[in-house]
Chain A
């Protein structure tokens, strides 16, 4: 197990370096003069040549490209992503809290997604063909098809405005989590519950099940075995859903005025706040790599077969 983990971790290093270099390069390839971008982002009413030269000097843009990259990378390790062009505040002081807000939303949603999709998936697989199974599947089609924006608006209108149970938006209390989590969960449960269901179904037809039944094990014991083997899928869901949700909360954050990473990054893109865009891409990429690695490791721990195949 240890060599497998070590190898997995080592693999991520070159990946992260490539990601960081591409991020840096893409920003530099932008046709705009960063000094001009900075001044515009600060809404400087009139941009003069002297001001441009002065800003270029301050940003260290007269250095050679690779030196600029090296400087940037080294400071990233210290969580120093530079200063926002727009507000002049350190990037980490903006992106850190936003990242935490988005991550908490993502993790809580993931827990609901896993619990619900496992529950519904298992139940409808065990009752395959029943009315319950059919209606759950039908419903999941329907729910997955609703755009999250529309669903969010309807839920806010019903539960926050009309019934006055919950706040419409913002992040003021635990109650603020209810609606965004519900919307995210509904969107993904419809997809992942099918994954769980088909995994349970395929396990049900495995020979070990037949064997267990033939050995006279109780139906409950057989079911437990099926469930344990289906657990892998749940882990895979966890591994897949977190980065996907993390990278796609923009819509949810916009509807619910959630002070998270999605909104911060869209704002940064619109105002060409390059240091924030760079840090955002880097952080999301790192999160992707880390979470994928972790879920691979967990899966390998559950299933020794995977470990030997991949190693």
Chain B
């Protein structure tokens, strides 16, 4: 009897004290963030002392299929394993696997002189034959790559000798080198990895020429990349990079505090895995630094100009919405100053975008006047403006996984309701938004431009493709003129003419207010405080890990 009672008591005490501990620490955690980080200095410090040559980054997505000629793999991971012929830098196109190239006078023939002595991770030589085989593998799956116009313009690829490749185009196409520099699909995998002579039905291995080799992959858990010691550009200082699958938010934050992961960056949908408050807390602890790239893209609301019954198909309504958005407030209150207000589709640091455009200020009175003049009038006592009996009501679609889009949508909704415009907010997953964009079943939706390496040429090409912005652009008056200019600009060989064409294109969509800009997004990196050489590429989709070191 007595023994039983003792046992019972011990059990109760144990459970009770555990709960008390949990309860107390919960209070402490909520009460002061500083306490939490003070306790963690030890954890993260130890982790970095243990190995000064590795990085572990958290990612919400698995690296997935690393086949570089398809689109399901993680771009940052593909970016360190595979390389392209040329590289897109701030100073323009630079050599990568091609040391130099000649372009024929008619702009149709590109002769690439390959870097010699480069091998794939499996030891296979990188030569003209390998380049030809990879191009052919990509072109064998042409439909998948239709978005990259170059893939539709290649007439032939020839291996002239061991290190010379001749690429012949059907038309002159000025962005050819830019498109060859992209993370996919024109990058190179060892021909030994090909399945049935190609890559479109999968590959047997993932051997590129890049600074890192994929050495281990536990799906949905982690992937390990080891430095390529015989990398032609010199062995990287960071010897091991681990990509760890962690859900965004609290879990990633706690893992960073403990030092289990020590690196996070903005993902390819523009979402950060931890919020601004958490980033600041990590930086305050002294273990981490926060590095932000220059603006990479423009976040915006896209209006469907071709949908019948959509009030935003009218220029005046789109302009009124533009004037009704307080971008300063969005930048300060929603992004804590980390994203700057954007007043144009392509900011001035984008190629060809240094164009004079009229600025539409935040001006509610102007917005009201525009609506009144367009015939959208507010009846006495009515909350919503009407025109010919139809209400000024629109649906705005946002990505339900992005907390900032939802907040912005609510903010814009409240301003517009003051003007007498009704905005219905609908959150959906990103693939569903993409599907609406393609089918034209939307009034307004959130989107972002594709980033420095892709702007303006790829985003502008997307104005004409059904799956992207065709529905957004086809309803405007000068649509035909716009498309003609887009066709012209892609084949123009004269720099000045191209500049003028781009200016016209940008002016048309700006004047028509098709793409209503919100903020400029950048890539954010949270890294160990002592890590040096943190830099960015010209895309929001990958990072140059090989240049980093302690």
Residues of A within 8 A of B (CB): 32, 36-37, 40-48, 50-51, 54, 86-89, 94, 97-98, 119-120, 123, 126-127, 132, 135-136, 139, 142-143, 150-151, 153-158, 160-162, 164, 167-171, 254-257, 259, 263-264, 270-272
Nearest-neighbour CB distance to chain B for A85, whole angstroms, equals 10
Nearest-neighbour CB distance to chain A for B75, whole angstroms, equals 10
C-alpha spacing A136/B11, complex, angstroms: 10
B485 on interface, CB distance cutoff 8 Å: no
Name the one of A87, A259, A272 contacting B72, with C-beta atoms under 8 angstroms.
A87
Question: What are the residues of chain A within 8 A of B19 when measuring CB–CB?
Answer: 139, 142-143
Contact B9 A46 (CB under 8 A): no
B235 on interface, CB distance cutoff 8 Å: no
Which one of A46, A135, A254 has the highest number of Cβ atoms from chain B below 10 Å of its Cβ? A46
Nearest-neighbour CB distance to chain A for B219, whole angstroms, equals 7
Nearest-neighbour CB distance to chain A for B77, whole angstroms, equals 14
Name the one of A89, A171, A257 contacting B65, with C-beta atoms under 8 angstroms.
A89
6 interchain pairs, CB-CB under 8 A: A47-B466, A135-B12, A169-B255, A257-B251, A271-B429, A271-B431
B104 on interface, CB distance cutoff 8 Å: no
C-alpha spacing A55/B322, complex, angstroms: 40
Nearest-neighbour CB distance to chain B for A287, whole angstroms, equals 20
Question: What are the residues of chain B within 8 A of A86 when measuring CB–CB?
Answer: 64, 72
> Secondary structure of the A side of the interface?
helix
Name the one of B5, B220, B434 contacting A40, with C-beta atoms under 8 angstroms.
B434
Q: Which of B171-200 contact A (CB under 8 A)?
A: none
Name the one of A42, A120, A162, A167 contacting B39, with C-beta atoms under 8 angstroms.
A162
B244 on interface, CB distance cutoff 8 Å: yes
Q: Contacts A42-B71, A46-B465, A272-B431; is A51 near B11 (CB within 8 Å)?
A: no
Q: Contacts A44-B144, A51-B143, A89-B65; is A256 near B251 (CB within 8 Å)?
A: yes
Contact B11 A94 (CB under 8 A): no
Which B residue's beta carbon lies closest to that of A89? B65
Contact B431 A123 (CB under 8 A): no
Question: What are the residues of chain B within 8 A of A264 when measuring CB–CB?
Answer: 220
A-B contacts besides A169-B260, A255-B250, A271-B431, 7 pairs, CB < 8 Å: A40-B434, A43-B71, A88-B202, A157-B254, A158-B21, A161-B40, A169-B255
Question: What are the residues of chain A within 8 A of B64 when measuring CB–CB?
Answer: 86-87
Q: Contacts A87-B72, A135-B12, A135-B16; is A257 near B431 (CB within 8 Å)?
A: no
Name the one of B4, B8, B40, B254 contacting A156, with C-beta atoms under 8 angstroms.
B254
Contact with A along B53-93 (1 / 0, CB 8 A): 00000000000110000111000000000000000000000
Q: Contacts A151-B22, A161-B257; is A169 near B246 (CB within 8 Å)?
A: yes
Contact B147 A45 (CB under 8 A): yes
Q: Contacts A162-B39, A169-B255; is A155 near B65 (CB within 8 Å)?
A: no
C-alpha spacing A161/B480, complex, angstroms: 60
Q: Which of B519-540 contact A (CB under 8 A)?
A: none
Contact B251 A169 (CB under 8 A): yes
Contact B245 A257 (CB under 8 A): yes
On chain B, which size bracket covers the interface? Answer: 35 or more
Name the one of B5, B8, B36, B65 contacting A88, with C-beta atoms under 8 angstroms.
B65
Contact A168 B467 (CB under 8 A): no
Name the one of A47, A127, A150, A254 contacting B247, with C-beta atoms under 8 angstroms.
A254
Nearest-neighbour CB distance to chain A for B234, whole angstroms, equals 33
Closest 10 CB pairs of A and B: A45-B147, A46-B147, A259-B220, A43-B71, A51-B143, A123-B8, A162-B39, A158-B25, A257-B246, A161-B258
Contact B258 A48 (CB under 8 A): no
Which B residue's beta carbon lies closest to that of A49? B466
C-alpha spacing A41/B321, complex, angstroms: 32
C-alpha spacing A51/B143, complex, angstroms: 6
Question: What are the residues of chain A within 8 A of B245 when measuring CB–CB?
Answer: 257, 259
Name the one of B43, B219, B250 contacting A164, with C-beta atoms under 8 angstroms.
B43
B468 on interface, CB distance cutoff 8 Å: yes
Contact B221 A168 (CB under 8 A): no
Contact A48 B246 (CB under 8 A): no
B26 on interface, CB distance cutoff 8 Å: yes
Q: Which of B273-321 contact A (CB under 8 A)?
A: none
Which one of B72, B148, B438 has the highest number of Cβ atoms from chain A below 10 Å of its Cβ? B72
Question: What are the residues of chain B within 8 A of A139 when measuring CB–CB?
Answer: 15-16, 19
C-alpha spacing A151/B29, complex, angstroms: 12
Q: Which of B467-492 contact A (CB under 8 A)?
A: 467-468
Question: What are the residues of chain A within 8 A of B5 when measuring CB–CB?
Answer: 127
Which B residue's beta carbon lies closest to that of A138? B16
C-alpha spacing A163/B431, complex, angstroms: 41
Contact B26 A154 (CB under 8 A): yes
Nearest-neighbour CB distance to chain B for A18, whole angstroms, equals 29
Question: What are the residues of chain B within 8 A of A48 when measuring CB–CB?
Answer: 143, 146
B435 on interface, CB distance cutoff 8 Å: yes
C-alpha spacing A226/B21, complex, angstroms: 35
Contact B144 A51 (CB under 8 A): yes
Question: What are the residues of chain A within 8 A of B438 when measuring CB–CB?
Answer: 36, 47
Question: What are the residues of chain B within 8 A of A120 when measuring CB–CB?
Answer: 11, 15
Nearest-neighbour CB distance to chain B for A48, whole angstroms, equals 6
Contact B71 A254 (CB under 8 A): no
B42 on interface, CB distance cutoff 8 Å: yes
Which A residue's beta carbon lies closest to that of B434? A40
C-alpha spacing A29/B230, complex, angstroms: 54
Nearest-neighbour CB distance to chain A for B6, whole angstroms, equals 11
Contact B247 A42 (CB under 8 A): no
C-alpha spacing A278/B340, complex, angstroms: 44
Contact A255 B25 (CB under 8 A): no
Question: What are the residues of chain B within 8 A of A32 when measuring CB–CB?
Answer: 435
Q: Which of B430-481 contact A (CB under 8 A)?
A: 431-432, 434-435, 438, 465-468
C-alpha spacing A54/B401, complex, angstroms: 31
C-alpha spacing A154/B18, complex, angstroms: 12
Nearest-neighbour CB distance to chain B for A49, whole angstroms, equals 9
Nearest-neighbour CB distance to chain A for B424, whole angstroms, equals 19
Contact A155 B22 (CB under 8 A): yes
C-alpha spacing A28/B299, complex, angstroms: 35
Question: What are the residues of chain A within 8 A of B432 when measuring CB–CB?
Answer: 272
Q: Which of B192-227 contact A (CB under 8 A)?
A: 202, 218-222
Contact with A along B228-255 (1 / 0, CB 8 A): 0000000000000000111100110011
Q: Contacts A135-B12, A136-B15; is A46 near B255 (CB within 8 Å)?
A: no
Question: What are the residues of chain B within 8 A of A157 when measuring CB–CB?
Answer: 25, 29, 36, 254
Contact B220 A44 (CB under 8 A): no
C-alpha spacing A123/B255, complex, angstroms: 39
Nearest-neighbour CB distance to chain A for B169, whole angstroms, equals 19
C-alpha spacing A92/B447, complex, angstroms: 35
Name the one of B72, B221, B250, B467 contacting A45, with C-beta atoms under 8 angstroms.
B467
Nearest-neighbour CB distance to chain B for A182, whole angstroms, equals 9
C-alpha spacing A259/B65, complex, angstroms: 17
Contact B43 A161 (CB under 8 A): yes
Nearest-neighbour CB distance to chain A for B30, whole angstroms, equals 10
C-alpha spacing A98/B9, complex, angstroms: 40
Question: What are the residues of chain B within 8 A of A40 when measuring CB–CB?
Answer: 431, 434-435
C-alpha spacing A53/B513, complex, angstroms: 35
Contact A50 B246 (CB under 8 A): no
